[in-house]
Amino acid sequence: MTYDKPFLPDEFRRRVQDVKQRMERAGLDLLVCQDPANMGWLTGYDAWSFQYPQAVLVHLELDVPIWMGRLVDVNSAFVTTDLPPENIFSFSDHLVNHPELHPFDDLCQLIKSRGWHSARIGVEMDAHYYTARGHQHLVNGLPNARFFDSCGLVNWARLVKSKAEIVYMREAGRIVSNTMLEVISTLKPGVPQYQIAAEVYSSQIRGIDGKYGDYTSACPLIQFGDNTNAPHLTWTDKPLPKSGLVLLELAAARRHYHAPLARTVYIGKPPEEVKRLANVIVEGVDAVLEIAKPGEVVEEVDAAWQNILKRNGYVKKGRSGYSIGLNYPPDWNERTVSIRSGDRTVLQAGMCFHFQTGIRLEDFGAAISESFVVTEAGGERLTDVDRRLIVVD
């Protein structure tokens, strides 16, 4: 079997070494990773298998991580990673969906066989696929171990992107730009909403310039009219009206690196209040991109945005953005930095963010967002779609 691996082995060696140094500082001997993005970032593993228990183990004494998953997924581990065969293990298949036993029972036996039964073990308590039942089986199966929440240790290691990762971020930005423009061209009165969603999926996967797209970590979010102040609604079979607002938030993924993008469209002649809100959003984003340089504190980036909103009589409740990069369903944010008051993270070159500008008023909402990478010159846009209220006659 052949597989086009996204990175050279040295990239993974650097990542593992970085994580081990973080583990030492945190007082951990062993890290059990369940988050599929963290598993992929550490080893290159890539398969649709995260709906079942699986894990990557990083131990301070090991130069190379261990992968453990379903028997049917072992070949995927051989193909997508450079892990040696002796570091790839499968659970006993009868443990999958067993009413009493659990695949992590075998994981406990593996840990014991390595002499790590009394280790200080970090687990990803807030990972989407790390279940309460799986954790209980680990705790019961390793009574002499001490367990700690790793507090997103690997997620934080992923925050500053390497040059090789930024290549994929930029490619994702080009794909989502093309997708957004293609979708906007289909927005005409009478077109059913599901047809618009179908165009999103088709364009996302087709990619651009010979660079295909992966499945994204979340579905396209599409709202119309009054529903534009409810940002996480999806499509229906209703046709587009003769006039009104359309809010699109979608992403593209290249080798699972995501670039999200939101644009607001008005079919027909837009009211002045809609145009005014859009203009203020664009002004605020420009201010953010200008100051998003290494050394800037995240909450000061948010303050620049909030000051422009306040000066124009608007308010944005909640965070204004979040870090992005490699991810799998159900979410494309890295669950580390949030652009909001109180986040004192200092920006570094190579960090990537989605600055999500959604403003929800009583009767409607609007968003003109940007994905960007922090550079010495400020925030470099990963996308190329006009920053304005887009009007479709």
Mean pLDDT for 335-354 is: 98
Residue 366, number of CB atoms within 10 A of its CB: 27
H helix count then E strand count, the chain: 10, 17
* Predicted local confidence at residue 128, as pLDDT: 96
Cβ–Cβ under 8 Å, residues 278 and 264: yes
Please give the Cα distance from 277 to 97 (Å, whole number).
51
- Distance CA(390)–CA(186), nearest Å, equals 13
Q: Cis omega (within 30 of 0) on the bond before 330?
A: yes
Contact 39, 73 (CB under 8 A): no
CA angle (367 as vertex; 387, 228 as ends), nearest 5: 140
Q: Pinpoint the alpha helices (H) of 122-162.
A: 132-141, 153-157
Is the pLDDT at 139 greater than 80? The verdict is: yes
Q: Looking at residue 19, what is its pLDDT?
A: 98
Q: At 393, is the pLDDT very low, low, confident or very high (cuts 50, 70, 90)?
A: confident
The answer to whether 357 and 330 have CB atoms below 8 angstroms apart is no
Q: Which two tokens stand for residue 366?
A: 């609007």
What whole-number distance in Å separates Cα of residue 379 and Cα of residue 151? 28
The count of residues in the chain is 393
> Which of the four pLDDT bands, split at 50, 70 and 90, describes residue 332?
very high
pTM, full prediction:
0.96
Question: CATH second-level architecture of 9-157?
Answer: 3-Layer(aba) Sandwich (3.40)
How high is the pLDDT of residue 318?
A: 87
Q: What percent of the chain has pLDDT over 90?
A: 93
Q: In what order do the strands lie in the sheet with 120-123?
A: 88-90, 66-69, 55-59, 30-33, 120-123, 146-149
Q: Is residue 77 scored above 80 in pLDDT? A: yes
- Tell me the pLDDT of the chain averaged across its residues: 96
Same CATH topology for 9-157 and 163-392: the answer is no
The CATH class that applies to domain 163-392 reads: alpha beta
How far, CA to CA in Å, does 284 sit from each of 305, 312, 363? 5, 10, 22
DSSP secondary structure string for all residues of 301-330: HHHHHHHHHHHTT----S-SEEEE-B--TT
**The pLDDT value given to residue 363:** 87
Domain extent listing, the chain: 9-157, 163-392
pLDDT digits (tens, 9 = 90+) for 12-27: 999 999 999 999 999 9
Q: What is the pLDDT of residues 155-198, one digit of tens each?
A: 999 999 999 999 999 999 999 999 999 999 999 999 999 999 99
Q: What percent of the chain has pLDDT over 70?
A: 100
Contact 371, 324 (CB under 8 A): yes
Q: Phi/psi zone of residue 378: left (φ > 0), alpha (ψ -120 to 50 degrees), beta?
A: left
Asked if the model's pLDDT at residue 1 lies above 80, the reply is no
Per-residue pLDDT reduced to its tens digit, 194-239 = 999 999 999 999 999 999 999 999 999 999 887 888 888 899 999 9
What is the widest separation between alpha-carbon atoms in the chain?
Answer: 70
- The 3-state DSSP class for residue 214 equals strand
Summarised one tens digit per residue, pLDDT across range 280-323 is 999 999 999 999 999 999 999 999 999 999 999 999 888 999 99
Please report which confidence band the pLDDT of residue 124 belongs to, taking 50, 70 and 90 as the band edges.
very high
Q: Please list, in sequence order, all residues whose beta carbon lies within 8 angstroms of the beta carbon of residue 67, skipping any fewer than 6 positions away.
A: 39, 43, 45, 54, 55, 56, 57, 77, 81, 83, 87, 88, 89
